[in-house]
Amino acid sequence: MLENIPANREFDAYQAFVLDCKIAWTRQMFPLLRDRFEIVAKDVQPNTAADVAALMEGDTTAQMFGWFERHLQRMKYSGLRGLTVHYNRYRDEIRRALNSDLPAHLLQLDPDFQQPEYYTSIDIHQHPGGVWSDEIAGFVYERGAQSTAPMLKKSESLFHRMKTQAMTRASHEVKKVVDLGCGWGGSTRPYYEDHPEVDVIGVELSEPCLRVAALRAAELQAQNVRYRQADATETGLNGGDTDIVTSTMLLHEMPPSHIKAVFREAHRLLAPGGLSIHLDFLMRDDPFRVWVHNGHSSRNNEPFMVPLNGMDLLAAHKEAGFDAVEIVPFEEFDGALSPDNTAWRFPWTMIIARKPGSSGNQDL
């Protein structure tokens, strides 16, 4: 249905240009920025991101790097042939597809649902109106995900890698998975598509995103997935019977108080020995990269990246009742973690914990 939207050469060329510019920013401008920093910092030893910020204040290379990041994202969504501008022309077609009849089990919406204030107070990712306020926002968000990480050839590969990590680390047979903050369903799909024997539940705040997720599952004739509109801090699902609770790029989009509540809810949902595994962004061991990461938080309208990076995640998990907490770098593509990779990349990190209890092998 949604694939019937006609091709548009001007739009395709515009978005390809934006992506090529992002790749150049990633592969060429970032190494130049690093080189410039090393020149400026030659006679000093910055210990914090604030030290780096002071050193780089007024530096034209840094200013150009930040300008490109901010404005390429703006072009992607709101430029002359941006995603929201283009797909607004096909609003009626998208609306009809998203409101088509679906199998009853696939989608549970809450007509009285109240969005949390932190979620509605900013246009996350520079997506106009956020991903919740417009009926076609979920579809636009799905389209936008194709260039979220310029070094990835396909966003689907990241989701499959994450699913493999989770399933491999599970200490016993996986019968039920809950995907928190599932968005348009990209992170949920590898579980229900590759493991039809597993009961999969996607939980999400945004109705427009949930409608896309449910439609994609219907197109695949999936029988083992359902999507539910709820807050990840209070899902309304039964407790104590889930084998894996997971999220992908969720934690950095909420304040620390909600992150701690997500950990508590994950602990409640999990069966004894169950696995909590979140993929998100942490950068702590390189003041220069922390400074770049903090800048991205500001330039891309993601204000909670910085407080997440400063949280004591081990203590937060312990407070929620977990043990065996582990924080592990995540390789989103082959060679991403190699020292030879000098390009900018998100600091992908897995945050892993186990609910105490008997379930066989307890190694993470």
CA distance 49 to 26: 20
Q: How many CA atoms lie within 13 A of 47 on its CB side?
A: 0
Are residue 186 and residue 309 in the same domain, yes or no?
yes
Kindly state whether residues 245 and 341 are assigned to the same domain.
Answer: yes
One domain, residues 177 and 210: yes
Q: Is the pLDDT of residue 190 over 90?
A: yes
Size (the chain), residues: 364
Task: Kindly tell me if the per-residue pLDDT of 1 is higher than 70.
Answer: no
Model confidence at 218: pLDDT above 90: yes
Give the Cα separation of 119 and 117 in Å (integer): 5
pLDDT of 237-253, one tens digit each? Answer: 999 999 999 999 999 99
Number of domains in the chain: 2
Q: Are 346 and 324 in contact (CB under 8 A)?
A: no
Angle between helices 9-24 and 60-78 (to 10 degrees): 160
* Position 116 in a domain: no
Q: Tell me, yes or no, whether 134 and 184 share the same domain.
A: no
Q: Domain range spanning residue 326?
A: 154-354
* 171-203: burial string, b at 16+ Cβ within 10 Å, e else: beebebbbbbbbbbbbbbbbbbbebeebbbbbb
Per the CB < 8 A criterion, the answer to whether 68 and 29 are in contact is yes
Asked if residue 118 belongs to a domain, the reply is no
Separation CA 211–CA 113 (nearest Å): 15
Is 163 contained in some domain?
Answer: yes
User: Are residue 293 and residue 195 in the same domain, yes or no?
Assistant: yes
Name, in order, each residue with C-beta under 8 angstroms of 50's C-beta and a sequence gap of 6 or more.
none
Average pLDDT over residues 95-100: 94
| Whole-number pLDDT of residue 3 | 74
φ and ψ at 130, to 5 degrees?
70, -170
* Mean of per-residue pLDDT scores for the chain: 95
- Per-residue pLDDT, 361: 46
**Does some domain include residue 142?**
yes
CB 93 within 8 Å of CB 213: no
CA geometry: angle 127, 94, 73, nearest 5 deg: 20
C-beta separation of 169 from 243 below 8 A = no
Q: Does some domain include residue 108?
A: no
Q: Are 347 and 281 in contact (CB under 8 A)?
A: yes
Question: What is the rounded distance in angstroms from the CA atom of residue 303 to the CA atom of residue 285?
Answer: 20
Residue 140 and residue 124 in contact, taking contact as beta carbons nearer than 8 Å = no
Asked if the structure places residue 112 within a domain, the reply is no
Beta bridge partners of 277: 246, 352
Q: Is the same domain home to 27 and 43? A: yes
Residue carrying structure tokens 């914990």: 353
Query: Which pLDDT belongs to residue 148?
Result: 77
Question: What is the CATH number for 338?
Answer: 3.40.50.150
Q: Is residue 96 part of a domain?
A: yes
**For 71-97, what is the mean pLDDT?**
96
pLDDT over 70, % of the chain: 96
Rounded-to-integer distance, Cα 32 and Cα 62, Å: 9
pLDDT above 50: residue 77: yes
Query: Both tokens of residue 107?
Result: 């989608």
In terms of domains, do 11 and 137 share one? yes
Does a structural domain hold residue 349? yes
d(CA 231, CA 332) in angstroms, rounded, equals 27
Are 5 and 90 in contact, with CB atoms under 8 Å apart?
yes
Question: CB–CB of 337/331 below 8 Å?
Answer: yes
142/253 same-domain check: no
Q: How confident is the model at residue 172 (pLDDT cuts 50, 70, 90)?
A: confident
Q: Residue 2 to residues 5, 76, 95, 287: CA-CA distances in angstroms?
A: 6, 20, 9, 44
Q: 197 and 128: one domain? A: no
